[in-house]
Amino acid sequence: MNDTTLQNFQTQQDSPTASESAVRTSYNEAPTPNKGQPVTRNESVEENLSVRVRDLSLWYGEHQALDDISIDIFANTVTALIGPSGCGKSTFLRCLNRMNDLISSVSIKGLVEMDGHDVNARGMDEVALRRRVGMVFQKPNPFPKSIYENVAYAPRMHDMVSRKADQDELVERALRDAGLWNEVKDKLHEPGTSLSGGQQQRLCIARAIAVRPDVILMDEPTSALDPISTATIEDLMDKLKKDFTIVTVTHNMQQAARVADYTAFFHLGEMIEYNATKQMFANPHTKKAEDYITGRYG
Amino acid sequence: MSQSFEEISAQLKKRHRRSARMKWMTMGALILSAAFLVVFISDMVVRGWPAFQQAQIQTEVSYNEQSQKLPLAAVDEDVRPLISRGFFRPLPRRMENNPALMGTTQTQWVIADSRVDQYLKGNEDRLRPADKETLQALVEEGRAELKFNTTFFTTGDSKMPELAGIASAAIGTVMTMLVTMAVCFPIGVMTAVYLEEFAPDNKLTQIIEININNLAAVPSILFGLLGLAIYISFFGVPRSSPLVGGLTLALMTLPVIIISTRAALRSVPDSIRHAAFGVGCSRWQVVRDHVLPVSLPGILTGSIIGLAQAMGETAPLIIVGMVAFIPDASISITGASTVMPAQIFTWASEPNSAFAEKTAGGILVLLAVLIFLNALAVWLRNKFERRW
C-alpha cells in the first residue's frame, strides 16, 4: 500500500462534500453496485438466506455514511466486508445488531430483515436482536471479570442455564468451540485480561458464541493481533461457520481471500460489488474493486 | 549552513538556566506549603495536648448520712476547694444506687477543679494562697497529678471546663453524617448514573450539568438558609436535630457526589459498555453488572471526601440551630444535638483558658477523624481497583 495515496485518501475522507464528488466522477465509468447483476453462488453447498438488506442508508447527523446498500448474507458462510478506511463497512456491520442505536445522531432508512422480521421495526427489541446477532470487536474487550464469568455471564443473564452444572458445561463447550479450553482450563477463575491479546480475542468469541446466536459480527477481529494469533482466529472462523453465520470486516484483503466465502467491497458509503470471494478476486466486475484488490489504492 | 554544537550549546545554556530556576521555584512552593502544614499541626498538638490531661487529687471520701445530705462534707475541708463541684453533685445519687458504699471511707482519685488543673499545667494562677499551699503539699506527697483525661472523651459540654467533653458532639456528628449519607449517597449516585448512562445529550441535560457544577461552588451558609426555609419552616423538622443538620449537609454534599460519580462513570472505557451491549444487556444491566463495579472505587472515594467535607462544616449548621450548648448526647435523630466543629466553635468563644485547650483538643480529634476517613477512602480505592 502506498503511503501517499493513503494519506490523500484520508484527506478526502475528512472533507466529504468537495472531494467525495471528485472521487465519484473519476470513477464514472464504473457501474453502480451490482443490484441488477446476479451474485455468483457457491454451488458446492446449499445456502439459505440469513440476513436480507435492502436499500439501507444511514446518516451521522447530516453526513451520509451508507448509501442504498442491498445485500443478501447467506447462512453458514463467512462474508467479508472490505474497502478503504471510512468506507462505511463497520457502520454497516453495526446496523446488523443495531449497535448504531447507541449513537444518538444516527438516522437509518431501509430494510434489514432477519428471519422474516425487520430489525429496525418498532416492535423489534434490540436486546432480543443482539441475543441472536453476537459481536466481536476490533480490540479484545473481555469484561473485567474472570475467564469463567466472561463466558457464563450472558447465558445466565438470558436465563439459558439454571443449574451450576449446566453452566459449567456451557462454559466448557463455548471455550472448546473457541479453541481456548486447553489453554485456560486450569485458570478459569483468573481475570480475563490476564490472557494474551490473541487469547483475549478468542475469549470474546467464546463469549459471543456462548448464547448460541445465529450470526456473529466481527469488526476487524485480528487488526490488533500478531500474525500467529491472526492465523488461529482465521482457522477458528472457518470452523465456526458450520454452526454460525459470520460477517467480518477486514482491512486485509489476503484475509478476505483466505477465510471468506463471499466478499462485499465498500467504497465511500456505497457497496460497489458483492460476489463469491473467488469470483471477486479472480474477475472483479467493477474497475474500483479491481483497483482496490490489485492495490492501486486503499 | 547548519549550526555547530558550540553555537547550539551557547543558546541552550539560557534555556537550561530557566529550567533550573523554575524547578527551584516550584520546589519552594512545595516547601512553603509543607511548612505551613507542619506549623499548623504542631501548634494544634502543642495547644491541644493538655486537653487530653486532667488534674486529679487523691483523697479520702467518706460516704455517710451527712455527706448524703451535704455532699461537700464527704472530703476534708482543706482539700474541698481543690476538687471539682462536678464530683460532689452526683454523690448522693451514687450512694442511693450503691447502698454498700454507705458508712465506708474510701481513698480514691477524684477530679480536680479547673483552677487546680490550669495551675498544674502552668497556665494561670487563680488559686487562693492557702489552697495553693495545700496543693503544693499534695503534689509533694504524690496525691495530686495530671492524668489521662477520660472525661474529655466520655461526656458532653459543660460550663465546668474539667467536665466538658467531645463525646456528645461526636455522637451528634455520627448521627448527622448517617442522615447525610443515607440521603445524598443514593440520590447522588442515581442522579449521576442517569445523567451519564441514560440521559440523551441535549440542551436540557447540558443546562442541568452546568447548574450542578455551579451548586458545588455555592457558599455553604446559603444551604443553611435553604435548610431553615424548607426543612424547619415548611416541613417542621425539629430545629437543632441531627435530622435537619444532616438534610442540610446533604444538600451541600449532593453536587460533590454527583460530580465525582460522573467522573468515575466517565472513566470506564466504552469498550466495556460495547461488550455488554453486544451480548444483549439492557441499559440497566450494562450499568449494574459492568459499569458500576468498575467505577465503584472512584464513587466511594468521591463520596467519602464529600462526607469528610460535610463533617467539617459549621456555617450552615449555625443557621439550623446546631451550634448550641448541648450537655447530653442524644441518640435520637430528632433530639437537640451538636456536632464536633460546632462544639469547637462554642468552646472557642469561651474566655476561660481551660476552654482554649479544649478548643485545640477538639480540633485534634476532628483532624484525626478526617484523616481516618481520607485514609479509608484511599484504602477502599486500592482494594477495589484493578480487580480484573
DSSP A139-190: S----SSBHHHHHHHHHHHTT---SHHHHHHHHHHHHHHTT-HHHHTT-TTS
Residue type, position A81, single letter: L
Tell me which residue in A128, A131, A141 faces B275 most closely, judged by beta carbons: A141
- Residue of B206, B268, B283, B388 best to disrupt the A interface, most CBs of A under 10 A: B388
Mind telling me how many Å the CA of B279 is from chain A's nearest CA?
6
**CA dihedral over B135, B141, B146, B149, signed as positive or negative:** negative
User: Are B57 and B138 spatial neighbours (Cβ–Cβ below 8 Å)?
Assistant: yes
CB contact under 8 A, A211 and B200: no
Tell me, yes or no, if the pTM score tops 0.80: yes
Q: Which residues does residue B362 pair with via DSSP β-bridges, in sequence order?
A: none
Mind telling me how many Å the CA of A239 is from chain B's nearest CA?
21
User: Are B337 and B175 spatial neighbours (Cβ–Cβ below 8 Å)?
Assistant: yes
Q: pLDDT digits over B221-259, tens only?
A: 999 999 999 999 999 999 889 999 999 999 999 999 999
Q: Which residues of A62-76 are buried (b: 16+ CB within 10 A; e: fewer)?
A: eebbbbbbbbbbbeb
Query: Is the Cβ of B287 closer than 8 Å to some Cβ of chain A?
Result: no
Residue of chain B whose alpha carbon sits nearest to that of A195: B388
pLDDT of residue A31: 34
Q: Which residues does residue A217 pair with via DSSP β-bridges, in sequence order?
A: A135, A247
**CA dihedral over A78, A79, A84, A85, signed as positive or negative:** negative
How far apart CA A115 and CA B106 sit, in angstroms, is 96
How far apart CA B25 and CA B42 sit, in angstroms, is 26
CB contact under 8 A, A141 and B272: yes
Residue of chain B whose alpha carbon sits nearest to that of A138: B271
- Residue of B279, B285, B385 best to disrupt the A interface, most CBs of A under 10 A: B279
In which residue are the cell numbers 447462512 written?
Answer: A75
Mind telling me how many Å the CA of A100 is from chain B's nearest CA?
11
The gap from C-alpha A131 to its chain's centroid, in whole angstroms, comes to: 16
- Residue of A145, A158, A209, A214 best to disrupt the B interface, most CBs of B under 10 A: A145
Residue A136 CB-half CA count within 13 A: 31
A128 neighbourhood in chain B, CB within 8 Å = 280
Residue of chain B whose alpha carbon sits nearest to that of A147: B388
- Residue of A135, A141, A160 best to disrupt the B interface, most CBs of B under 10 A: A141
Predicted-assembly ipTM surpassing the 0.85 threshold: no
Mind telling me how many Å the CA of B382 is from chain A's nearest CA?
16
With a CB-CB cutoff of 8 Å, which residues 103-132 of chain B face chain A? none
Give the SS3 label for residue A221.
coil
- Backbone angles phi and psi of A91, in degrees to 5: -60, -45
All residues at 6 or more sequence positions from B6 whose CB lies less than 8 Å from its CB, including other chains: none
How far apart CA B262 and CA A239 sit, in angstroms, is 43
pLDDT of residue B3: 84
Query: Is the Cβ of B199 closer than 8 Å to some Cβ of chain A?
Result: no
Residue A16 grid cell = 466529504
Q: Treating both helix axes as pointing N-terminal to C-terminal, what angle do A197-209 and A147-157 enclose, rounded to 10 degrees?
A: 20
Mind telling me how many Å the CA of A144 is from chain B's nearest CA?
4
How far apart CA B296 and CA B292 sit, in angstroms, is 6
How far apart CA A136 and CA A177 sit, in angstroms, is 15
A99 neighbourhood in chain B, CB within 8 Å = 274, 277-278
User: Are A208 and A236 spatial neighbours (Cβ–Cβ below 8 Å)?
Assistant: no
Q: Which residues of A161-191 are buried (b: 16+ CB within 10 A; e: fewer)?
A: beeeeebeebbebbbebbbbbebbeeebeeb
Establish, for the pair of chains A and B, how many residue pairs have beta carbons separated by less than 8 Å. 67
What's the average model confidence in pLDDT over B119-141?
A: 87
User: Are A272 and A265 spatial neighbours (Cβ–Cβ below 8 Å)?
Assistant: yes
All residues at 6 or more sequence positions from A3 whose CB lies less than 8 Å from its CB, including other chains: none
CB contact under 8 A, B276 and A143: yes
How far apart CA B177 and CA B243 sit, in angstroms, is 9
User: Are B363 and B369 spatial neighbours (Cβ–Cβ below 8 Å)?
Assistant: no
pLDDT of residue B386: 61
Q: Which residues of A217-241 are buried (b: 16+ CB within 10 A; e: fewer)?
A: bbbbbbebbeeebbebbbebbeebb
pLDDT in tens, chain A (298 residues): 444 444 444 333 343 344 333 333 333 333 334 444 556 655 545 568 889 999 999 999 999 999 999 999 999 999 999 999 889 999 999 999 999 988 888 999 999 999 888 999 888 898 999 999 999 999 999 999 999 999 999 999 999 988 999 999 999 999 999 999 999 999 999 999 999 999 999 999 999 999 999 999 999 999 988 999 999 999 999 999 999 999 999 988 899 999 999 999 999 999 999 999 998 999 888 888 889 988 887 6
User: Are A199 and A183 spatial neighbours (Cβ–Cβ below 8 Å)?
Assistant: yes
Residue of chain B whose alpha carbon sits nearest to that of A98: B278
Residue of chain B whose alpha carbon sits nearest to that of A97: B278
Nearest to B263 by CA among B306, B203, B222: B306
CB contact under 8 A, B388 and A191: yes
Nearest to B251 by CA among B263, B267, B237: B237
pLDDT of residue A295: 83
CB contact under 8 A, B290 and A211: no
Q: pLDDT digits over B32-62, tens only?
A: 999 999 999 999 999 889 999 999 999 988 8
Mind telling me how many Å the CA of B214 is from chain A's nearest CA?
27
CB contact under 8 A, B275 and A193: no
